[in-house]
Structure 1
Amino acid sequence: MHLRRLLTVFALLLTWASAAHAQNSNRQVFIVPEVPVFAEADTAAAAQAIAQAQGRRVAMDILLRRLTAEEDWEYLPALASGQPAISGPIEDDPVLDPAIEAQFGQDMALDIKQPVYITPETLASFEEGFSIFDEKTSSTTYRARITYRFKPDAVRQALEDAGLPYSEAQARRALVLPVLVTENDTYLWETRNPWARAWLSRPLVNELTPLILPRGDRQDMANVTITEAANLNQAALGEMANRYQTPQVILARGRLQHTADEYLLSVQLIDAYLDGRSGNRQRIESETDDPAARLYDSEDGYGTDGVGGGSSQSSGQVLAEAFFRGPDDDFPALAQRAVEATVARYADGWKAQTLVDHSDVRSLTLTAWFGGLDEWADIRIALESTPLVRKMEVGVFTNQSAVIDLLVIGQQEQFNLALKQENLTVWQSPDGRWNIADNARAAELQGQMQDVVYNPDEFSNGSRQNRNGLGVNQPGLNGPINAQAAPGTDVSMTGMNGAPVELELPDELFGEDEEPAGPPAGAPVALEPADAEDASDNVDNDGALR
């Protein structure tokens, strides 16, 4: 009785904790931070209302294009400019796939892509809230930066109703070191590094490929010098990764050339360091091998015409490459444009791997392997956090394994990749069963799992009550595991000697990750986010770069 009560309490607490984690993690990509707004009207209140409405339209445009493939942008409205999608509202009687409709209902059965129907009038219903920064008003004007938070379910439904694949899976964060190479010098930690300021002014944590910037304080300067960064010194870059608790460090190297009347800026994102435990390696393929295509963009273009690619299986590989040009009287504007386009280009590779067709719904049974409740909690939280899991039920449960039934969307490779971001490995055993465990335990199990005993009759009709546990010879896990759930009975948990297992909830299950410590008191900070009006401190009065 004591054990049964303890398991009930544990299940409730774990559900609450995992639900809170899933809710927070799934909402990040639906936040569009710090959209600059400005409006002028007869009164300050009217100007504020106009500016906030304009910012909301811009934010939704950004969000929809963040989640979808560029080839599908023609189905998206351009709310900021007041343009609808290619052919107006969704048809009243869309074409449905009968097989999918019969199994999963009409919502999953769209067989064609249709325009996303969001108008300025309906847009407010998609908004969950907003936060205002740097607000400045006069009697007739309003200026601010606004962070808009949109309702995930409403946005998902709009995209699914239109039959558009989309991705909301975030890769693990990477640390970016912005290095500027000019004809005169190379810059990293300098206060007046305009390339670093351009990166700092761009919020990056809500992207599909979230990035963070270093503080640029004395500790950072001691951890890695400009020479060590340029030479990809692994020990120094590893110190930076450890400090900011990220598995990857990316060098954002900008090379600036000055011609008679314009700047030429080439940008490379270089895989500088990657923790050996990480599975977050991407590959961004080159669009073309023709060197003639590696051109600088036009003066009034937004984006890049030239793209370099390469594998990130070893440090020093180029993840993304782009080229820009602009007048020599406004380098900060050129740098901001380059950052925006390079971030989008970097995300393209990840998005291509994680775009999900939400009509592709299937069932998946996993056996989760763990050494304790803390590992089990990590697995369950990861499964409930990924947007690829629509439904989850836990069946046979022992002190070292659990059978889980899932309803998932997307391809198996996408599911595996999503869990890889949580340091979990999904693999298929020789008899076809799917398994999940943390990376270290998965490697151990894959090397030691032998003599898998599998009786299909025990899984007749998919009934959970008729399932027996799997007998697996695991010398590395203290002998065989046997678990059985009899019809109409509770699952009991015993140790290897048959004695009941007394379970204790680990304290760390409910702990929160600590934020990286701030710079020491009184320490000078050489690299800080700057207001827009400070972004030109590095240029002369006429706008030329010093």
Structure 2
Amino acid sequence: MQSRRPAHPVRFLSALLGLLALIGAGLWAAMAPARAGDVFTVHGVVVDVTAENARDARVKALDQGRALAFRTLLERLTPQAMHASLPRPTLETLVESELAVEVDREKASSVRYIAEVTYAFRPTEVREFLRLNALSYSENQARPVLVVPVLVLRGTGPQGEPMEQALLWEPENDWAAVWRDPRFSSSLLPVETPFGDTEDLLALDAEKALNAQWADFAPLAARYRADEVLLAVATVSREAQGRTEQVDLTLARLSEDGLETAQGTAQGAAAVPEPGQTRIPTIARPLALEAIDIAMAPWIERWKEKTLVSLGEQQRLSATAVFRSGLADWRAIETALAEIATIIDHRVLALSATGAEIELTFAGSVDQLALLLAQRTVSLSALNNLWVLEAGAVASGVAPSELDPASRPPVEQIYLTPATAPPAAYRPGAPDPYAGEPGPAAEVDDWNRARSAIDPGASQMAPVGQ
């Protein structure tokens, strides 16, 4: 009797996972929380250009918008301290980096073009621009936080007495609509907005929300599987004639661990009806967005500091993935590894029903990798001189941040980038149209020598015009 070889465990388990994924696809999609957006997409770029004719005005407007969007993207990804010295890309870089354009609110005359444009950029091209300019950056988003938008309207009563009205789930709460702007899904600190349906209304009202107690938010957080809530209280005050208004914003991040607050204020033109509408919005959208940017900036900068990487600082480690709940743990770990942008590659070396051996190549430090995994409820810890991956918040080993570097399990450093970067005016293949004068050749020679020391086959750069 001829014996039959048992199925290869990796192939068998992979096939089983695929079958289970197909069976449960509908249920999984229905249960999955809202995902964050693409950080390489820039929304709401306003262009307004006048030229000799409508066609030229449109072309110039979209070109200007592309450059502005790319600059906005660089500022989103890099620390604020770098913004004053960010290099300007060449026209060729801008065109090659563009993936898609979407035009909205378009208006045109015979000589003028106005629009609100969304630009999507190619991640690979943007990363290469950052690498060539030796710019550290962060592209990994934090876990989305559930925002609860409370609008407080201040005014005067019939007898001139001061009055306040707090809105949360009411249709007149235009503050809630502001948070649904797609730019917040593309932020490094993305937000998720509640449905605002009957179940939400029964779970929380404006009065309880203003008390800022986690116990009052817990039922709402449980519904959206959120471990943190962002209470956003915007107080709107309008001057007597109704021409200007002020938005005072207080943000409070609430969780079981406590509360953290931030403030932002914006003042300017009062809200006016949108085209085709008669109702005056309860908050001026431009002022609301400005106040949010001011209040969120310190938190975003802090997240960048924690997750800042350079593509030239890549490392490799081998980890043992432990499945305590079977295939569900494997799905959670695989999903987390796929979502983290700074994981350049992950290879499954061995797989069984109880665990896997995985090789990870990533940019940044091990501490940063552990932080990004923890955001996705996967732990990376050290145990018996091994790196261990586990689904869930509880780790069997010691967190990397608590270990002395000398006592950590092995981590291989596989690539280094020169400390200096090529000047912005030098790009392989094409001169920079923004730079009219060639730079010092010695500066380029230094860069070429440093580059050749790492990669002898690297193409050499030359100053513009030579």
Give the TM bin, normalised by the shorter chain.
0.5 to 0.7
- TM alignment of 1:351-370, pairs within 5 A: 351-370=304-323
- TM alignment of 1:22-421, pairs within 5 A: 28-77=38-87, 84=88, 118-181=89-152, 182=154, 184-189=163-168, 190-193=170-173, 195-201=175-181, 203-234=183-214, 236-256=216-236, 265-272=247-254, 274=255, 313-314=257-258, 316-318=259-261, 320-326=262-268, 332=284, 333-370=286-323, 371-421=325-375
TM-score, normalised with respect to structure 1: 0.58
1:15-60 CA-to-partner distances (Å, cap 9, x unmatched) read 9x9xxx9xxx898111112323333334433332222222212211
Q: CA deviation at 1:257?
A: 5.8
| Residue-pair matches, total | 361
Residue of 424, 436, 439 corresponding to 2:392: 439
Q: CA deviation at 1:178?
A: 2.2
The DSSP-based 3-state class of the residue aligned with 1:29 is coil
Structure 1: 5+ residue runs without aligned partners?
78-83, 85-117, 277-312, 448-458, 462-546
1 CA distance for matches of 2:218 and 2:76? 30
The DSSP-based 3-state class of the residue aligned with 2:328 is helix
Are the structure 2 counterparts of residues 262 and 351 from structure 1 closer, same or farther at C-alpha, using a change threshold of 3 Å?
Answer: same
Q: CA deviation at 1:213?
A: 2.8
2 CA distance for matches of 1:34 and 1:202? 9
1 CA distance for matches of 2:287 and 2:44? 19
2 CA distance for matches of 1:426 and 1:148? 36
Share of identical aligned residues, percent? 31
Residues 26, 168 of structure 1: 8 Å contact kept: no
Are the structure 2 counterparts of residues 244 and 163 from structure 1 closer, same or farther at C-alpha, using a change threshold of 3 Å?
Answer: same
The DSSP-based 3-state class of the residue aligned with 2:301 is helix
What letter is aligned with 1:349? R
Residues 36, 190 of structure 2: 8 Å contact kept: no
Corresponding residue for residue 461 of structure 2: none
Q: CA deviation at 1:124?
A: 1.0
Residues 49, 114 of structure 2: 8 Å contact kept: yes
Q: CA deviation at 1:263?
A: 5.7
What letter is aligned with 2:190? P
The DSSP-based 3-state class of the residue aligned with 1:391 is strand
What letter is aligned with 2:7? R
Residues 10, 352 of structure 2: 8 Å contact kept: no
2 CA distance for matches of 1:188 and 1:54? 39
The DSSP-based 3-state class of the residue aligned with 2:183 is coil
Question: Larger strand proportion, structure 1 or 2?
Answer: 2
The DSSP-based 3-state class of the residue aligned with 1:184 is strand
What letter is aligned with 2:263? E
The DSSP-based 3-state class of the residue aligned with 1:175 is strand
1 CA distance for matches of 2:359 and 2:217? 41
Q: CA deviation at 1:329?
A: 8.7
Q: CA deviation at 1:338?
A: 1.0
Residues 396, 403 of structure 1: 8 Å contact kept: yes
Are the structure 2 counterparts of residues 148 and 368 from structure 1 closer, same or farther at C-alpha, using a change threshold of 3 Å?
Answer: same
Q: CA deviation at 1:204?
A: 0.6
What letter is aligned with 1:321? Q
2 CA distance for matches of 1:214 and 1:27? 16
Are the structure 2 counterparts of residues 397 and 215 from structure 1 closer, same or farther at C-alpha, using a change threshold of 3 Å?
Answer: closer
Residues 26, 387 of structure 1: 8 Å contact kept: no
Are the structure 2 counterparts of residues 389 and 132 from structure 1 closer, same or farther at C-alpha, using a change threshold of 3 Å?
Answer: same
TM-score, normalised with respect to structure 2: 0.67
The DSSP-based 3-state class of the residue aligned with 1:163 is coil
2 CA distance for matches of 1:400 and 1:446? 18
Residues 179, 186 of structure 1: 8 Å contact kept: no
Q: CA deviation at 1:61?
A: 1.1
2 CA distance for matches of 1:414 and 1:206? 20
1 CA distance for matches of 2:271 and 2:339? 47
1:442-494 CA-to-partner distances (Å, cap 9, x unmatched) read 45x459xxxxxxxxxxx9x9xxxxxxxxxxxxxxxxxxxxxxxxxxxxxxxxx
What letter is aligned with 1:359? G
Residues 46, 115 of structure 2: 8 Å contact kept: yes
Are the structure 2 counterparts of residues 358 and 121 from structure 1 closer, same or farther at C-alpha, using a change threshold of 3 Å?
Answer: closer
Residues 26, 385 of structure 1: 8 Å contact kept: no
Residues 36, 185 of structure 2: 8 Å contact kept: no
Q: CA deviation at 1:426?
A: 1.0
Are the structure 2 counterparts of residues 263 and 141 from structure 1 closer, same or farther at C-alpha, using a change threshold of 3 Å?
Answer: closer
Structure 2: 5+ residue runs without aligned partners?
22-28, 30-34, 155-161, 273-282, 399-409, 413-466
1 CA distance for matches of 2:131 and 2:221? 38
What letter is aligned with 1:421? Q
Q: CA deviation at 1:404?
A: 1.7
2 CA distance for matches of 1:37 and 1:262? 25
Q: CA deviation at 1:139?
A: 4.0
Q: CA deviation at 1:373?
A: 2.8
Corresponding residue for residue 499 of structure 1: none
Q: CA deviation at 1:171?
A: 0.7
Q: CA deviation at 1:328?
A: 7.2
